[in-house]
Chain A
């Protein structure tokens, strides 16, 4: 029997604090769709996605109604498309269009996996795919792309880093009349997880089963309000415990939804990704949690420490609540998608330098940051290299998703609406790293890679 107070607590979490399941993402392997003819290969891709994920959206909606929990997104991730390009040759954009068409047919808002894994070098199809990313993201609505350019095991592929600086710029240039939206759908990773359900970085790793259900939970609002309900003088150990307990409850919900979805769809359950994923909605902000812990504004000295504690407590609470944790799991710190980050960025108190420090202790990296439109490709490459270095040395995932604000003047903003939110241009260093970037080659794997 339940205490009415427990029932109230759950309902308040959903109604007042924006608790939701952020995404049910079906991972689908496309390895059996490979064909030496690209058009036949595309046809097989569309057929397989429709067959596996045809009922994904409907199933999500049934679960939403039965349990009264909003499931915000239903999505699909696929095998890195560069592998299919390697087998078939031809213009990779055909695959992007095929994915877009399949996603539209089954009613999902994003499909991830227009990806290449090049941490140690370019394989067949990798360069062709990477070079096609700007066009692919400009001509499709739903396709998301990611490129893994480094790992703790392999080091950093600096040739790929140099290339990705140019690609990020081209993504923005080709979609300049649409607020450079192309760049919002491209993530450059170090140590990319193969079971991440969150976009834009989701892809279905080659070590994964044929088809799998992964769930991404959320709940920054719930954590913030749990801390707000505490005594003002509670010490940080108590705050950390409170975060743990809240993360536990949130994750259990994700575990339930994932288990039920996998049963209903007859597909194995993969992982729960227990990330705190903010949205621009009021009360759904990771920045506000940090401010609730006791910072005047996110970006203040102390932000990195508060974020480190938050990220760790979320994992500790979540790990006991689920049988299989995976993906990115931690706290996301995108700028344009988080009301508190947007405010601090507008006020100029949150800088790219501070965000970089924060990425050393959060779950991902520099995410959804609008940078000046005249930022050179070499500077973007250097930003990617810095982030990758943090990830490589600390054996964690890091990523870069920056948006060169082509045509934006200082003080102006992009406003995407919806989950992508809005954000001002944030200054980055104009000093040239060109000589280093143009050297190319590889940063060798660090000593941390030698664990055997």
Chain B
């Protein structure tokens, strides 16, 4: 079971570190990361494994919003993307 973290916003030092730090803290294994910076805007998509996670997806979302208040953050179960984009 996996979830997808998406972060978008103005680029600054330490965004990726904060996200991956939080994942480590909550025992969420990072499976893949893609990121790009276009004209100062940072966009990151991260896939994490959530079986062993010590909090729920909703709690991870809240923690992420607390630690990264300036960016737009989403944590969503992967099934939603499967359903919408794969037949």
The reply to whether the CB of A65 lies closer than 8 angstroms to some CB of chain B is yes
Whether B80 pairs with A2 at a CB distance below 8 angstroms is no
The reply to whether the CB of A43 lies closer than 8 angstroms to some CB of chain B is no
Whether B84 pairs with A253 at a CB distance below 8 angstroms is yes
Inter-chain CA distance A1–B31, complex, in Å, is: 11
Measured between C-beta atoms, what is the minimum distance from B18 to chain A in Å?
Answer: 19
The reply to whether the CB of B83 lies closer than 8 angstroms to some CB of chain A is yes
Q: A2-B85, A253-B83 are in contact. Are A7 and B77 (CB under 8 A)?
A: no
Size class of the B contact interface (CB-based, 8 Å): 20 to 34
Interface segment among B9-17, B20-28, B53-61: the answer is: B53-61
Residue with the greatest number of chain B CB neighbours at <10 A, chosen from A7, A10, A67? A7
Whether A65 pairs with B61 at a CB distance below 8 angstroms is yes
Whether A68 pairs with B80 at a CB distance below 8 angstroms is yes
Please, which residue of chain A has its CB at the minimum distance from the CB of B3?
A66
Which residues of chain B have C-beta atoms less than 8 A from A253's C-beta? 80, 83-84
Which residues of chain A have C-beta atoms less than 8 A from B58's C-beta? 62, 65-66
Q: Which of B1-58 contact A (CB under 8 A)?
A: 4, 6, 32, 34, 43, 45, 47, 56-58
Measured between C-beta atoms, what is the minimum distance from A435 to chain B in Å?
Answer: 55
Which residues of chain B have C-beta atoms less than 8 A from A305's C-beta? none
Inter-chain CA distance A405–B6, complex, in Å, is: 48
Please, which residue of chain B has its CB at the minimum distance from the CB of A320?
B87
Size class of the A contact interface (CB-based, 8 Å): 20 to 34
Which residues of chain A have C-beta atoms less than 8 A from B75's C-beta? 68
* Mask of A240-280 contacts with B, CB within 8 angstroms, 1/0: 00000000010011011000000000000000000000000
Out of A8, A67, A249, A256, which one reaches B6, CB within 8 Å?
A8
Whether B76 pairs with A67 at a CB distance below 8 angstroms is yes
Inter-chain CA distance A256–B78, complex, in Å, is: 12
Inter-chain CA distance A1–B82, complex, in Å, is: 9
Please, which residue of chain B has its CB at the minimum distance from the CB of A4?
B45
Inter-chain CA distance A81–B56, complex, in Å, is: 41
Whether B32 pairs with A6 at a CB distance below 8 angstroms is no
Whether A252 pairs with B84 at a CB distance below 8 angstroms is yes
Whether B83 pairs with A6 at a CB distance below 8 angstroms is no
Please, which residue of chain A has its CB at the minimum distance from the CB of B60?
A65
Q: Which of A1-44 contact B (CB under 8 A)?
A: 1-2, 4, 6-11, 15
The reply to whether the CB of B65 lies closer than 8 angstroms to some CB of chain A is no
Which residues of chain A have C-beta atoms less than 8 A from B78's C-beta? 2
Measured between C-beta atoms, what is the minimum distance from A275 to chain B in Å?
Answer: 18
* Mask of A374-408 contacts with B, CB within 8 angstroms, 1/0: 00000000000000000000000000000000000
Measured between C-beta atoms, what is the minimum distance from A358 to chain B in Å?
Answer: 30
Q: A11-B74, A65-B61, A68-B75 are in contact. Are A4 and B80 (CB under 8 A)?
A: no
Which residues of chain A have C-beta atoms less than 8 A from B57's C-beta? 65-66
Q: A65-B57, A68-B61 are in contact. Are A2 and B81 (CB under 8 A)?
A: yes
Whether A7 pairs with B45 at a CB distance below 8 angstroms is yes
Which residues of chain B have C-beta atoms less than 8 A from A2's C-beta? 4, 45, 47, 78, 81, 85
The reply to whether the CB of B79 lies closer than 8 angstroms to some CB of chain A is yes
Q: A15-B72, A66-B57 are in contact. Are A249 and B77 (CB under 8 A)?
A: no
Whether B84 pairs with A10 at a CB distance below 8 angstroms is yes
Whether B81 pairs with A10 at a CB distance below 8 angstroms is yes
The reply to whether the CB of A69 lies closer than 8 angstroms to some CB of chain B is yes
Please, which residue of chain B has its CB at the minimum distance from the CB of A3?
B85
Q: Which of A39-74 contact B (CB under 8 A)?
A: 62, 65-69
Out of B6, B56, B72, B83, which one reaches A7, CB within 8 Å?
B6
Whether B79 pairs with A256 at a CB distance below 8 angstroms is yes
Chain A positions within 8 Å of B, measured between CB atoms, are 1-2, 4, 6-11, 15, 62, 65-69, 249, 252-253, 255-256
20 pairs, A vs B, C-beta closer than 8 Å: A1-B32, A1-B47, A2-B4, A2-B78, A4-B34, A6-B85, A7-B6, A7-B81, A8-B6, A8-B43, A10-B81, A11-B74, A65-B57, A65-B61, A67-B76, A67-B79, A68-B74, A253-B83, A255-B83, A256-B79
Chain B positions within 8 Å of A, measured between CB atoms, are 4, 6, 32, 34, 43, 45, 47, 56-58, 61, 72, 74-81, 83-85
Other A-B contacts than A68-B77, A68-B80, A252-B83, 14 sampled, CB-CB below 8 A, are A1-B32, A2-B81, A6-B81, A6-B84, A6-B85, A7-B6, A10-B84, A11-B6, A11-B74, A65-B57, A67-B76, A69-B80, A252-B84, A256-B79
